[in-house]
Amino acid sequence: MTDQNTPAPEVQNAEENKLIAERRQKLEQMRENCKANGHRNDFKRENLAAELKAQYGDKTKEELAEAGIKVSVAGRVMGKRGPFVGFQDSTSRLQVYMGKPLQKESDAWQKLDIGDIIGASGTLQLSGKGELYVQIEELNDFVILTKSLRPLPDKFHGLADQEMKYRQRYVDLIINEETRNTFMIRSKIIETMRFYLSQRGYIEAETPMLQTIPGGATAKPFETHHNALGIDMFLRIAPELYLKRLVVGGFDKVFEINRNFRNEGLSTRHNPEFTMIEFYQAYATYHDLMDLTEDMLRTIAETVLGTTTIKYGESEYDFAQPFQRMTMVEAVMKYNPEFDVTVFNNPEENFEQLKAYAKQVGVPDSPKQAAWGPGKYICEIFEETAEEKLDQPTFITEYPWEVSPLARRNDDNPFVTDRFEFFVGGRELANGFSELNDAEDQAARFRKQVEEKDAGDDEAMHFDDDYIRALEYGMPPTAGQGIGIDRLVMLFTNSHTIKDVILFPHMKPLAD
């Protein structure tokens, strides 16, 4: 449905095509007068808008006039008002000014359109409204460097179509300061993580994205084919097994900021290609990593946002406070107080009762259920009834071994593992555990995964012989963790869909 004041699509297209034709004509005229085929590359920018504002923004009009500060700026035209042209560079916005006599002589000024990329040299001045601007004093000090052939969206509405914001992110970034700020925050979060771990002795590594056996997580992989080797391969679903090979090799602290690929559905929380950070530390436990996670997230908040208080939707989180910690069974009982806790404390003896509880809370039927054990049912009940209610920062610990094929069993209760997941706003942001370094136990767990795969679970793991061989050489006691960077950025930028924090999210192709 079209807004009453918005032209119909066919009218909009006709108007846009007319503007494009006019701009192409201007470009042709520029080409006739320019050796660079209309796209100049001889202008040297020496100043950025934000730096000029920071350095001279507190000067008076008289002080600037007397100083005669010469500057050279460049950026994209975002508005024209009389003798003023507003432009933006990568840091901020600024204006340039050209008097009427020069305007009449300037071919660049006559051919200027919103969206053009310009270069300008002149003297820094202050307007009557207290805004800095660059005064053009010579005809050749104002040039069009790149002609924009397509008009930008209406400046008052921006890129209104949400889907087109994702498909044409380049336009979204030009128009929307909020979008640019989101991705600046994303960059700073990654930079702070890298610095935090490097300062604590972690070594950054790079592991294969193309793998002959996808491992390190339970997920359906993307498949491809390597022509030269003549073998089928997979895009990695996680770097975990390779990073732990490095621990075997003597890298006691190692991390990777990595792209992972999982052949799963799209949602507000899922993109098939996503970014994680995974890190591993020898001679540490999952308790050590929970402590490190608290401190690292607190440091990121302070460094990137300047505060430990994060607002997300209607909620507010204070990362300066200790994060809550509870076991999976404790979380289930907290949100299902009517359940009999002895059923969960003795799950193998009360398997049928667990199945009944799962059905009672609405765990959906699945053809894979034939291979489910009591641990899987407990995890499903948790995800169905408790996970989304974990609003404040919370570590959930003691995951059943059945759903934790790479985690170390707990010494006191071998039904569970020394594993945690970290939740904020009902969303999982991190997964960590004391690593399983018993080669024989790991082999048995891989075999169990293969059985589940044979039973129809296309997310179950393969058996990785080489990883077992690595463990047989001996891996020290180790703790490891992965943090979803996309979801963390969602939290820190108050974004409610993962597409808002991925520059180029996956979309269905538009029909011709």
CATH classification of the domain holding 101: 2.40.50.140
Q: What pLDDT score was predicted for residue 155?
A: 55
Within a domain: residue 344? no
Q: What pLDDT score was predicted for residue 202?
A: 98
Q: Measured between alpha carbons, how far is 234 from 216 in angstroms, rounded to an integer?
A: 13
Within a domain: residue 295? yes
Task: Identify whether residues 185 and 314 lie together within a single domain.
Answer: yes
Q: What are the pLDDT digits (tens) for 466-498? A: 999 999 999 999 999 999 999 999 999 999 999
Within a domain: residue 428? yes
Task: Find residue 274's DSSP bridge partners.
Answer: 260
Task: Identify whether residues 282 and 219 lie together within a single domain.
Answer: yes
Task: Identify whether residues 405 and 450 lie together within a single domain.
Answer: yes
Within a domain: residue 217? yes
Task: Identify whether residues 285 and 423 lie together within a single domain.
Answer: yes
Q: What are the pLDDT digits (tens) for 278-308? A: 999 999 999 999 999 999 999 999 999 999 9
Task: Identify whether residues 182 and 242 lie together within a single domain.
Answer: yes
Task: Identify whether residues 233 and 84 lie together within a single domain.
Answer: no
Q: What is the pTM of this model?
A: 0.90
Task: Identify whether residues 112 and 239 lie together within a single domain.
Answer: no
Task: Identify whether residues 125 and 227 lie together within a single domain.
Answer: no
Task: Identify whether residues 207 and 268 lie together within a single domain.
Answer: yes
Q: What pLDDT score was predicted for residue 457?
A: 81
The token pair that represents 211 in the structure block: 């793998």
Assess contact for 403 and 379: CB atoms under 8 A. yes
Among residues 54, 57, 56, 96, the alpha carbon closest in space to that of 74 is found at 96
Helices (H), ranges, 279-389:
286-300, 328-335, 341-345, 351-360, 374-385
Within a domain: residue 318? yes
Within a domain: residue 280? yes
Q: What pLDDT score was predicted for residue 14?
A: 82
Task: Identify whether residues 331 and 406 lie together within a single domain.
Answer: yes
Residue 177 marked ligand-binding: no
Q: What is the mean pLDDT of each run of 10 residues along the chain (512 residues)?
A: 49 81 93 80 95 95 94 97 95 96 93 96 93 95 95 70 89 94 98 98 97 88 94 94 97 97 86 95 98 98 97 95 97 97 95 95 87 94 97 97 93 97 96 96 91 82 93 98 97 96 90 61
Task: Identify whether residues 419 and 493 lie together within a single domain.
Answer: yes
Q: Measured between alpha carbons, how far is 196 from 304 in angstroms, rounded to an integer?
A: 13
Task: Identify whether residues 111 and 184 lie together within a single domain.
Answer: no
Count structural domains, the chain.
2
- CATH number for the domain including 219? 3.30.930.10
Give me the domain span that covers residue 451.
Answer: 177-336+386-500
Find the angle CA(115)-CA(120)-CA(122) to the nearest 5 degrees: 150
Helices (H) and strands (E) in the chain, counts: 17, 19
Q: What kind and span of H or E run contains 64?
A: helix 61-67
Within a domain: residue 120? yes
The token pair that represents 263 in the structure block: 């052949």
Residue 421 marked ligand-binding: yes
Distance (Å) of CA 284 to CA 287, 414, 417? 8, 19, 15
Within a domain: residue 2? no
